[in-house]
């Protein structure tokens, strides 16, 4: 093994070299999110304190771990052991406040855990060390040779951490702890095993070799205390201190403990199928005309690309104007599919498009932005035939709160709500995630009612309100993580009534949608533009394009849900104005 693959410098430059090694180890593991997750990491936060410290979560556990660097010491070479450095880290474990596990912690830990600020305070646990001391139940050691050819990680913690209360703890209504009984009883060692396994797997990956695993055990005094606080050793009981060591390179055993070799690392994280993909994931973005799909997508890409999670986009627009691709220029690699709707002529255009973009940019994920008229049920059917290229991911539907609430009054009279029929219905029904966009343009009561209606239509979907396509993207990640693979609602086979099946698979052609492109030779006034949209008839759903507006220059024109928006264009070149709807009078 070579230490320089973790820390590219000689040891001895600081009084916290082991902290540097530790932080380099976990930071490098997080360059690629999928790799970090496959190792079992579920989030890390560096913690503010004088000493380097971190909080983190790992797969398969709802605990939050705290790791705090305590210091390091140099050991001179002796017979059989090389010149090496040992760093000590305190390990803390924070169960969720509602967890029964917390009831087995020291009373002072439980007391603090029930306080309202517990969840927040854990994030900076070293800032209020006094309160968190009873959560410190293990230790991590990092040994490393100055030659840089040996490294070992050791977890040490009591098998059962018990402290006996000699006098007991009594309140008015009786005993909380009976005399002579343990005040706490925590299976410390096993709580830290998953964390240790993730750390070891991380070191294995970066050092490019498998660790030798050994375990040790020694007995330490069990402690007991009296009500006035004096602590003493318990004569009748001992506490078993367990240790687990993962070592790389030649042995540096600094202590003469009896170590037993183990064949494998206990509780090693086994990544699920979706975490170890060889093929990229393809998410499908749908949403009715003008709901804000491109706006949402640009915000999502900004979030992803800011974290170096590169994502390519395949866009399909109804009508020949590539406005969305123009707006997204420079954001990412965009593959624009031919005119027409991907849901109707999918097999023909999607496969070559996908092949082109995967070849040009072998990213881990892609987003297919469909036309506002696409029926995701048709797309999901077609994606099944593309499994050799991609793994189908989420169906995300951007819903237009204004559009869906706008006709509420009429809907109340007729009983026909826009989301209950046609393409909108199919898009809601097939969604894993519903982004309820333009939530700021309707009243909060209307938004709440709409949200409830959508959730009633699709109980499994995550419904998130958004303004200008902005959502807490971290929470979208968390939801995806909780619903990987077959657990996604869109992947679940759905039993539908006959009428639903018909609706779900209908296409925009069945519903009579058409697109018309208009070219303007001269600048248009806003009033003329408004008149034109009005005269197009009640069937007009959407208009978009880049045209020259009188007195404003070249502008992006967007019309949806009865709202006209005009904003400066990213480039001077006008594109046609496309109108989409039914029964257009043009």
Partner 1 sequence: MNRREFLKGASLGVGAGALGAMGLYSYTPMRRAFLPDIDRKMTDFGVCKSVKVTNISETSWFDNGIFMKNVTGAGGLLVDQYTFNWAPFGNGKGIGKGSYEEGIAKIKPYIQKGDLHGAWSIARENSVDADNAGGFACLVEIEDLEGKVTKYLFDCGWNYDWMEESFKREGIDQMLANGEIAGFIQTHEHMDHYWAFPVVAKYAPNIPIYTPSTFYPQGKQYIKDSGHVGPWTEVKKGLHEIQPGVALYMFECPIIFKVFGEISLYCNVKDVGLVSITGCCHQGIILFADTAYKELKYEKDKFYGLYGGLHISPFDDWDPKYDDLVIGLKKWELERVGCNHCTGLITAQKFVDAGYPVVKGTARFRSKTTNYLGNGDIITFPA
**For partner 1, which is the closer residue by CB, 307 or 387?**
307
Min dist. Cβ of residue 90 to partner 1 (A) = 5
**For partner 1, which is the closer residue by CB, 2 or 505?**
2
Residue 520 found at the interface with partner 1 (CB under 8 A): no
Q: With contact defined as beta carbons under 8 Å apart, do 376 and 341 qualify?
A: no
Strand 462-465 with 433-437, pairing: parallel
**For partner 1, which is the closer residue by CB, 44 or 343?**
44
Out of 472, 512, 568, 583, the residue judged to bind partner 1 by CB under 8 A: 472
Q: What φ, ψ does residue 134 adopt, rounded to 5°?
A: -65, -5
- Contacts to partner 1 from residues 22-51, by CB under 8 A: 23-24, 26-28, 30-33, 36, 41-46, 48-51
Q: Which stretch binds partner 1 (CB under 8 A): 323-331, 369-377, 509-517, 525-533?
A: 323-331
Q: And the tokens for 459? A: 């109980």
CA-to-CA separations, 178 to 3, 171, 226, 458, in angstroms, rounded: 52, 11, 12, 52
Q: With contact defined as beta carbons under 8 Å apart, do 239 and 161 qualify?
A: yes
Q: Rounded CA gap, 191 and 161, in Å? A: 11
Residue 218 found at the interface with partner 1 (CB under 8 A): no
Q: Which stretch binds partner 1 (CB under 8 A): 63-71, 441-449, 542-550, 571-579?
A: 63-71
Residue 72 found at the interface with partner 1 (CB under 8 A): yes
- Closest by Cα among 210, 205, 239, 206 to 222: 239
Q: Rounded CA gap, 212 and 245, in Å? A: 8
Q: Rounded CA gap, 528 and 557, in Å? A: 13
Out of 40, 145, 156, 326, the residue judged to bind partner 1 by CB under 8 A: 156
Out of 39, 85, 163, 433, the residue judged to bind partner 1 by CB under 8 A: 163
Q: Where do the DSSP E strands lie in 84-172?
A: 84-94, 136-145, 151-158, 161-165, 169-171
**For partner 1, which is the closer residue by CB, 61 or 316?**
61
Residue 147 found at the interface with partner 1 (CB under 8 A): no
Residue 226 found at the interface with partner 1 (CB under 8 A): yes
Q: Which stretch binds partner 1 (CB under 8 A): 18-26, 252-260, 521-529, 574-582?
A: 18-26
Place of tokens 């959502």: 471
The size of the interface with partner 1 (CB under 8 A), counted in residues, is: 111
Min dist. Cβ of residue 30 to partner 1 (A) = 5
- Closest by Cα among 194, 89, 85 to 141: 89
Q: Rounded CA gap, 427 and 412, in Å? A: 22
Residue 478 found at the interface with partner 1 (CB under 8 A): yes
- Closest by Cα among 489, 450, 478, 480 to 466: 450
**For partner 1, which is the closer residue by CB, 365 or 427?**
365
**For partner 1, which is the closer residue by CB, 322 or 518?**
322
Min dist. Cβ of residue 433 to partner 1 (A) = 14
Min dist. Cβ of residue 16 to partner 1 (A) = 8
**For partner 1, which is the closer residue by CB, 166 or 533?**
166
- Contacts to partner 1 from residues 231-250, by CB under 8 A: 231, 239, 241
**For partner 1, which is the closer residue by CB, 111 or 320?**
111
- Closest by Cα among 141, 22, 146, 140 to 84: 146
Across the strands, what pairs with 241?
158, 218
**For partner 1, which is the closer residue by CB, 311 or 427?**
311
Out of 82, 148, 158, 376, the residue judged to bind partner 1 by CB under 8 A: 158
Q: Rounded CA gap, 401 and 392, in Å? A: 27
**For partner 1, which is the closer residue by CB, 223 or 532?**
223
**For partner 1, which is the closer residue by CB, 418 or 465?**
465
- Contacts to partner 1 from residues 78-137, by CB under 8 A: 88, 90-91, 102-103, 106-111, 114-115, 123, 129, 133-134, 136-137
Residue 178 found at the interface with partner 1 (CB under 8 A): no
Min dist. Cβ of residue 363 to partner 1 (A) = 5
Residue 174 found at the interface with partner 1 (CB under 8 A): yes
Residue 160 found at the interface with partner 1 (CB under 8 A): no
Q: How many CB atoms lie within 10 A of CB 519?
A: 10
**For partner 1, which is the closer residue by CB, 80 or 229?**
229
Residue 315 found at the interface with partner 1 (CB under 8 A): no
Q: Which stretch binds partner 1 (CB under 8 A): 2-10, 336-344, 418-426, 434-442?
A: 2-10
- Contacts to partner 1 from residues 286-305, by CB under 8 A: 298-299, 302-303, 305
Listed in sequence order, the residues at least 6 apart from 375 whose beta carbon sits closer than 8 Å to its beta carbon are: 343, 423, 426, 427, 504, 505, 506, 507, 508
SS3 track for 264-286: CCCCCCCCCHHHHCCCCEEEEEE
Q: Rounded CA gap, 374 and 289, in Å? A: 10
Min dist. Cβ of residue 228 to partner 1 (A) = 8
Out of 473, 491, 494, 563, the residue judged to bind partner 1 by CB under 8 A: 473
Residue 70 found at the interface with partner 1 (CB under 8 A): yes
Out of 74, 255, 273, 308, the residue judged to bind partner 1 by CB under 8 A: 308
Residue 360 found at the interface with partner 1 (CB under 8 A): yes
Q: And the tokens for 472? A: 């807490």
Length of the chain: 586
SS3 track for 26-82: HHHHCCCHHHHHHHCEEEEEEECCCCCEEEEEECCCCCEEEEEEEEEEEECCECCEC
Across the strands, what pairs with 314?
335, 368
Min dist. Cβ of residue 273 to partner 1 (A) = 20
Residue 168 found at the interface with partner 1 (CB under 8 A): yes
Q: Rounded CA gap, 169 and 324, in Å? A: 69
Min dist. Cβ of residue 42 to partner 1 (A) = 6
Residue 388 found at the interface with partner 1 (CB under 8 A): no
Coil vs helix vs strand at 422: helix
**For partner 1, which is the closer residue by CB, 74 or 348?**
74
């Amino acid at each position: 093994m070579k230490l320089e693959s973790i820390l590219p410098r000689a040891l001895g430059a600081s009084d916290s070299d082991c902290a540097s090694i530790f932080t380099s180890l976990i930071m490098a593991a997080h360059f690629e999110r999928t790799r970090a997750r496959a190792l079992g990491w579920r989030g890390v936060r560096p913690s503010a304190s004088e000493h380097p410290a971190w909080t983190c979560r790992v797969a398969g556990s709802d605990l939050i771990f705290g790791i705090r660097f305590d210091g390091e010491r140099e050991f001179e070479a002796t017979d059989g052991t090389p010149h090496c450095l040992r760093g000590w880290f305190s390990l803390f474990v924070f169960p969720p406040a509602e967890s029964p596990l917390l009831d087995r912690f020291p009373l002072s830990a439980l007391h603090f855990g029930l306080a309202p600020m517990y969840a927040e305070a854990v994030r900076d646990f070293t800032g209020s060390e006094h309160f968190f001391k009873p959560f410190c139940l293990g230790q991590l050691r990092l040994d490393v040779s100055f030659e840089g050819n040996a490294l070992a990680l050791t977890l040490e913690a009591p098998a059962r951490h018990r402290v006996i209360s000699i006098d007991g703890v009594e309140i008015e209504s009786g005993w909380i702890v009976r005399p002579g009984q343990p005040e706490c009883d925590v299976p410390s060692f096993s709580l830290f095993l998953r964390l240790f396994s993730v750390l070891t797997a991380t070191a294995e990956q970066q050092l490019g070799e498998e660790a030798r695993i050994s375990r040790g055990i020694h007995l330490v005094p069990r402690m007991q205390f009296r009500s006035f606080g004096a602590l003493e050793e318990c004569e009748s009981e001992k506490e078993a201190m367990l240790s687990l060591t993962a070592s790389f390179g030649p042995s540096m055993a600094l202590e003469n403990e009896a170590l037993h070799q183990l064949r494998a690392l206990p509780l090693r994280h086994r990544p699920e199928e979706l975490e170890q993909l060889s093929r990229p994931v393809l998410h499908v973005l749908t949403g009715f005309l003008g709901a804000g799909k491109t706006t949402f997508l640009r915000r999502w890409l900004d979030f992803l690309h800011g974290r170096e999670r590169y994502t390519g986009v395949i866009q399909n627009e109804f009508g020949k104007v590539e406005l969305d691709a123009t707006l997204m220029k420079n954001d990412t690699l965009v593959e624009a599919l031919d005119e027409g709707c991907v849901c109707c002529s999918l097999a023909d255009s999607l496969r070559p498009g996908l092949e082109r973009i995967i070849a040009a940019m072998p990213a881990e994920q892609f987003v297919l932005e469909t036309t506002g008229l696409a029926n995701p049920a048709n797309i999901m059917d077609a994606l099944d035939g593309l499994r050799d290229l991609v793994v189908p991911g989420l169906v995300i539907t951007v819903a237009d709160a204004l559009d869906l609430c706008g006709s509420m009054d009429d809907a109340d009279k007729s009983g026909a709500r826009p989301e209950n029929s046609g393409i909108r219905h199919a898009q809601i029904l097939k969604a894993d995630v519903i982004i309820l966009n333009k939530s700021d343009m309707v009243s909060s009561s209307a938004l709440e009612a709409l949200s409830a209606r959508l959730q009633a239509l699709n109980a499994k979907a995550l419904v998130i309100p958004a303004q200008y396509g902005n959502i807490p993207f971290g929470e979208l990640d968390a939801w995806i993580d909780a619903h990987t693979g077959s657990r996604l609602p869109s992947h679940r086979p759905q039993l539908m009534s006959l009428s639903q099946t018909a609706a779900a698979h209908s296409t925009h052609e069945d519903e009579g949608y058409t697109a018309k492109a208009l070219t303007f030779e001269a600048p248009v006034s806003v009033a003329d533009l408004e008149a034109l949209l009005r005269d197009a008839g009640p069937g007009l759903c959407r208009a978009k394009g880049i045209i020259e507006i009188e007195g404003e220059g070249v502008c992006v024109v967007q019309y949806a849900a009865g709202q006209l928006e005009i904003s400066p264009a990213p480039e001077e070149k006008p594109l046609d104005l496309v109108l989409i709807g039914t029964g257009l009078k043009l």
